[in-house]
Structure 1
């Protein structure tokens, strides 16, 4: 069966009633097109099934219309949701996406070598900011980092994790709990350290004691195991008997905590109130439905792609920090 012939730029121009140059400008996302004309050309492209020739465009513009995404792992819920958000936003802007995880690449240097060899126009980095920025500088790749302290070497798009953690802790203290225990994330995670910072700040303002942090690896299994240990320690009185409130650094660990508490016959929220962070898709289906701090992954992905596209076009986008929102349910 013969293959369908590729729709040409001239065919689109004829359908839209414009010049080939105007179609080219629309295909290359040039700002020098009247909005009504752009819409007419885009409609003609959609009707005819026109697909820009990336190879030809790369030769003309020096750009591949391909973005890179680098992550330590995609096994965590947060990173997998960020991948989906970035992929959707990139596709909407006409960019392809190349994904590299440090597990696949071996190390940071090889991750950027792979992106450089594939000619990406720029890269988005999830979480592993400082070390990756040093490598990116030597690789000459435009860079936007999701979740990082401010750094003049790259643009940062971040959730205000500390503010979200403060809100969660303040909610539990306002409910009458003497203090709030914290199930924290890994030590090398920026998001985890910021959430811990917000928790400590809220306790300090309230004059409440800060219990020792217990740490997990973001997984439900870790949440279960660490909550079991806290309950065992409370029984032997090596943990403050005021273990009546728990702020978990993410919803997956909160899920494990809820199961551990249920298995021990501890009622939530009557005996121990629990609040998570992220508002994953199934958080409302936990038992009880999880009170949590929602960060907007879709908006983060869109903002990261927008900032990177601005950099590619020669702009100087500013850092962006987004305030998360408390979602009230029944666990805390």
Structure 2
């Protein structure tokens, strides 16, 4: 005789799963919450019953029963930048692997510390057990210090070169790879299209560009400011097109580089024959630009995944992760750079 099913007018519950599996409701709860103190054969019985009945855990009910929400909060800028989306992919993947869900609080560009504190508070009210700070914020602020002391948190953005952010990519290495590649090709100097200086990563890239040029005995040319958008890159490209001696440009993001290339093309300046370009990020479209972009890859998914693992380990009070693995940028060589000999007709 087959096990008695749940009445057709209601969804199956934990007691139904226990009855079909021949175990207690407490055992079902342990299996569904991922606890390890259940024998493998018993866990298989429970999971088979779950599949047979189509049982699904109700998040709110599970939270009430366990006192846990298993929610991971993330604070990000309200932007369509590739980095934000890619970080989210890494965070979501690790969260799902550990039976967490992710909720996001967005703040506007150039958000104040008060905006970020309010976003942190929203996540706590929604039940976030830990928070990943994907915005440039100092942990020395009293309000932020109080929140990070009561709620497990980590950052993947540095506020200053001196401050620690466990999973931030080394932006000095990003810029050094880009600038030295162009100098190694034989270019006499390198111009720079900067990102929005609200971001420490933009400041660090600019400062490193200046330092590398001076290390080679080159006085840096004027910075060409931009704001991460393709439109600002286009405006910067028009400026570069009007500089006859500009043969090499370090652009602080792929998206801006698309705009630079468009402006150079309209002005009759060829890439890389007339102007070589190195950018940053290695977004998916970088390989399909015309020409394909030489760029410094930032492993955003790895950064997000590492940050999520750190916060979840702190929430679960598991063994420390040990030394933080160094997340390295990588120079991806494509078709937008060439030796200066190609700039001669």
Q: Quickly name the TM-score band, shorter chain normalised.
A: 0.7 to 0.9
**Equivalent position to 1:223, from 221, 225, 233:** 233
Q: SS at the partner of 1:156? A: coil
Unpaired segments ≥5 residues, structure 1: 236-240
Is 1:254 the equivalent of 2:288?
Answer: no
Shift of residue 292, structure 1, vs aligned partner: 0.9
Compare 257-266 and 164-173 and name the one that shifted more: 164-173
Residues 108 and 132 in structure 1, CA contact (< 8 A), matched pair in contact too: no
TM-score, length of structure 1 as denominator length? 0.84
**Equivalent position to 1:148, from 155, 158, 161:** 158
**Equivalent position to 1:288, from 286, 291, 294:** 291
Is 1:164 the equivalent of 2:174?
Answer: yes
Aligned ranges 1:206-217 → 2 under 5 Å? 206-217=216-227
* Residue-by-residue CA offset, 1:102-139 (whole Å, 9 max, x unaligned): 23998223212211211211111113231697544333
* Residue-by-residue CA offset, 1:244-294 (whole Å, 9 max, x unaligned): 111111100111111111111111111110011111111111111111111
Residues 143 and 155 in structure 1, CA contact (< 8 A), matched pair in contact too: no
Aligned ranges 1:1-332 → 2 under 5 Å? 5-10=10-15, 12=17, 20-32=25-37, 45=50, 48-103=53-108, 107-130=115-138, 134-139=142-147, 140-148=150-158, 156-232=166-242, 234=243, 241=245, 243-315=246-318, 316-317=320-321, 319-332=324-337
Unpaired segments ≥5 residues, structure 2: 1-6, 338-345
Compare 66-75 and 220-229 and name the one that shifted more: 66-75
Using the alignment, how far apart are the partners of 1:170 and 1:38 within structure 2?
56
TM-score, length of structure 2 as denominator length? 0.81
Q: SS at the partner of 2:138? A: helix
Compare 51-60 and 126-135 and name the one that shifted more: 126-135
Using the alignment, how far apart are the partners of 2:45 and 2:132 within structure 1?
32
Shift of residue 53, structure 1, vs aligned partner: 3.2
Compare 143-152 and 243-252 and name the one that shifted more: 143-152
Residues 256/309 of structure 1: CA separation in 2 closer, same or farther (3 Å cut): same
Using the alignment, how far apart are the partners of 1:108 and 1:250 within structure 2?
25
Shift of residue 199, structure 1, vs aligned partner: 2.7
Q: Name the residue aligned to 1:238.
A: none
The size of the alignment, in residue pairs, is 324
